[in-house]
Amino acid sequence: MAASGRLCDICETRDITVFATDWCPECEQSLCESCKSHHSAFKSSKTHETISFESFDKLPPSVKEIRNDCYEHEARFEYYCNPHEVPCCVECINTTHAECRHLTPMHKVVEHFKASNALSDFEQTLSDLINNLNSLIKGRFDNLSLLSNEKDKCLKEIADTKLKVIAHLDNLEIKLKTEVEMLHGEHLHAIEETIKEFELLKTDVAKMQEEAHIIKQYASDFQLFVAFRELEHTVKNLETDMHLLIKKDSAKQISISFSSTIVQSIETVLPSLGNVNVITKESDIKLVNQREKQAQLSAIVTPCIAKIQLKTLLQNIELPRGNETELVIYENCFLSNGRLAFTDKLNKRLIVLKDNGEHEKDIPLSFMPNAIAVISETQAAVSDCSGNAITIIDTESGRVDHSFQMDGDIFALSFRKGRFLILVNGIGFCITDVEGNVINKIPYSYTDILFAMLLDDRIYFSHWRRDRVVCCDLKGIDIHEFKDKKLKAPIGVACIDKNVLFITGYKSKNICALSSSGDELKELYCNSNLRRIRAINYYPGKQQLLVSTEDGKVFLFEVSY
C-alpha cells in the first residue's frame, strides 16, 4: 500500500515519516494503518468511511479537488442552496445567500444519496446514453455497409443501362438498314420499269427511222409525201408518249441518303445515362430513455374533457376599421406579453391589441394576409391569401425579415416545436423548417381545410363542408374522424400538449373541446355573438383561449382543467 507515495498527514504533524494507506474524505486527510485504527475509534470520526489510496487514485481529478470547506470563508459546508444548486457555509448564508429561502442541511442532502432515485436516474441516463450511442454507431456502420452495397448496385445498373442503350442503338441500326434496302429496291424496280418503257419507245423510233431512210431512198415523190405525213403523225404520238413518261417523274434523278439526327444533338438528347441520387431519410433508430418514460406517459394523459371550463376575460371587442368599410379577419395569434394579433385580409394589415383588448398598432402588409403563426417572441409567419409565399415579419418593427415560397397556393399554416405544417394546393401537407426547407411531404387531396395542427406524429384538421374533424398520420392516411350534431361546419383548430383540441363551429356558433382520440366532446361556449366565428388560438403560458369572427369580434377566455 505504501506504493501510493503519500505520507500519513497525522504522523507528518508529529515529524514521523510513515506512508499512508487510506484516505478520509470527511477529514480530507491521508492515514497510515495505525492512524486509521485510531481514526475509526474516535467518537468524532468513527462514522467516517475511509477508502484505500488504490481506490482514491481511480477518482477523476475534479472529484479529488472537491473540498468540504468553503473556499471563500474556510468554514464547513453546512447547507445546500436549492435555487443556486451550491453548498453553503454559515457565512455564505449570511452574505451571498441571505435572500435564499430554500436551504437544506447538508447532511440531509447527502444522506442515503447513493441509494437515491436521483443517482439511480443519473446512472440510468448514462446507461441509456451509452446504449443510444452504440445504436447510433451501429447505425452508421450499417449505413457504410448499405452505401457499399448500393454503390455496387449503382455501378451494375449503370453498366446495364449502357448495354440497353447499345441494344437500342443496334435495333435502330437494323431498322434503318432495312429501310435503306426497302427504299433502294422500290426505286430500283421503278427505274428498271421506266427503262423498259423508254427502250420500247426507242425501238419504235429506231424502226421508224430505218423505214424513213428506205422510203426516202426508194419511194416516188408522191409515195414519199403521203408516207411522210403518216410517219409525222406517228412520231408525234411517240413524242407524246415520251413526255407522258417524263411527267410521271420517270426521268427524275432519284437518290437515297442518310442524315444522322443523333450525332449533332447527342449531348442534348443523351446528356447522361441517368442520375445518381443521394437519398436522406430519418433514422429508424429508437433512442432509449427509460428515465423519462414515466414522465412522458404522465404528460400525454388527456385531462377530463368534462372538467374543462372557460372564464370570459374579454368579449365582443370590436377590431378597429381600416380603409375598407368591412373587415375580413381570417386568423389570430398570441404575441409576446399576451398581446393579440389578427390578419385583416381586405385592409392588408395585422391588427395588434394589448392584452387588455386596447388597440396598440397596425402592421401594414403588401399582400392580403390569410394565416399567421408565431415563431418566436418577435417573429411571426404570414401567408398570402392568393399566393404561395410565406413572409416572416418582425412583430415589433413591422419589417419583413425574409420569405420563402411553396410549390402551390397555401390553404393552411401552423408552427409548432420548430416546424411549419403547411397545406399546399396540389401537394398536400408539407412539414418544413423555419427557412422553408421541406422535411416531409404528405399527400392529401381535400381542399376544404382552413386550419391544421401537428400534434406529436399526427395531423388534426377540420373539414368544414363535411362537418367533421379528422386525424391522419404522417403518410396522409386517416386514423379517425369525429362528427357531432353540436358541431356544425368546424373551422378553427387549436391544440395543446395535453392532447386536447379546441374547435370553432362556424354554423353552430360555438367553441368545443375535443379529445385528440376523438371520443369525447364538450361544448364550452355558445353565443349568438359568435356568428361567423372562425379563428382560434391557445396560449399555454397564461392558459388563455383566443377566438375571433370574420367580421372582427374578439373573445378571450381563461381555460381551467
Rounded Cα distance between 378 and 56, Å, is 53
Rounded Cα distance between 90 and 93, Å, is 5
- State the average pLDDT over residues 317-321: 93
What is the structure's pLDDT at 297?
44
Please determine, for residue 555, whether its predicted confidence score (pLDDT) is greater than 90.
yes
Rounded Cα distance between 222 and 212, Å, is 14
Q: Residue type at 243?
A: H
Please determine, for residue 291, whether its predicted confidence score (pLDDT) is greater than 60.
no
CB 93 within 8 A of CB 80: no
Three-state secondary structure string covering 477-515: CEEEEECCCCCCCEEEEEEECCCEEEEEECCCCEEEEEE
Please determine, for residue 286, whether its predicted confidence score (pLDDT) is greater than 70.
no
Q: Percent of the chain, pLDDT > 70?
A: 91
478-496 burial, b for 16+ CB within 10 Å, e for fewer?
eeeebebeebebbbbbbbb
Please determine, for residue 67, whether its predicted confidence score (pLDDT) is greater than 50.
yes
Three-state secondary structure string covering 147-183: HHHHHHHHHHHHHHHHHHHHHHHHHHHHHHHHHHHHH
Rounded Cα distance between 549 and 544, Å, is 17
pLDDT band at 299 (very low <50, low <70, confident <90, very high): very low
Rounded Cα distance between 219 and 354, Å, is 133
Domains of the chain by range and CATH? Answer: 9-118 (3.30.160.60), 136-253 (no CATH), 305-560 (2.120.10.30)
What is the structure's pLDDT at 298?
44
> 349-353 and 359-364: which strand pairing?
antiparallel
Rounded Cα distance between 424 and 407, Å, is 7
What is the structure's pLDDT at 502?
95
Question: pLDDT, tens digit, for every residue of 27-59?
Answer: 999 999 999 999 999 988 998 999 999 899 899
Question: pLDDT, tens digit, for every residue of 252-277?
Answer: 777 878 776 665 556 666 666 666 56
The mean pLDDT of the chain is: 87
What is the structure's pLDDT at 281?
64
What is the structure's pLDDT at 201?
85
> What's the gap between Cα 37 and its chain centre?
68
Question: pLDDT, tens digit, for every residue of 167-226?
Answer: 988 998 899 899 889 988 988 888 888 888 888 988 988 888 888 889 889 888 888 888
Please determine, for residue 406, whether its predicted confidence score (pLDDT) is greater than 80.
yes
What is the structure's pLDDT at 282?
65
Rounded Cα distance between 411 and 445, Å, is 12
- State the average pLDDT over residues 221-235: 86
Please determine, for residue 126, whether its predicted confidence score (pLDDT) is greater than 60.
yes
Segment among 44-58, 68-82, 99-113, 523-537 with least mean pLDDT: 99-113
Q: Percent of the chain, pLDDT > 90?
A: 48
Tell me the CA distances in angstroms from 382 to 208, 363, 415, one per residue in order: 101, 12, 11
Question: Nearest CA to 234 among 251, 198, 209?
Answer: 209
Neighbouring-strand partners of residue 404: 390
Please determine, for residue 347, whether its predicted confidence score (pLDDT) is greater than 70.
yes
The reported pTM is: 0.50
What is the structure's pLDDT at 32?
94
| Farthest-apart Cα atoms in the chain, separation | 176
Please determine, for residue 382, whether its predicted confidence score (pLDDT) is greater than 90.
yes
Rounded Cα distance between 49 and 55, Å, is 13
Question: Nearest CA to 332 among 346, 347, 319, 313?
Answer: 319
Question: Nearest CA to 442 among 391, 476, 394?
Answer: 476
Please determine, for residue 279, whether its predicted confidence score (pLDDT) is greater than 80.
no
What is the structure's pLDDT at 403?
93
Question: Nearest CA to 469 among 536, 412, 419, 521?
Answer: 521
DSSP letters spanning 380-424: EEEEETTSSEEEEEETTT--EEEEEE-SS-EEEEEEETTEEEEEE
Please determine, for residue 377, whether its predicted confidence score (pLDDT) is greater than 70.
yes
pLDDT band at 248 (very low <50, low <70, confident <90, very high): confident
Rounded Cα distance between 135 and 131, Å, is 6
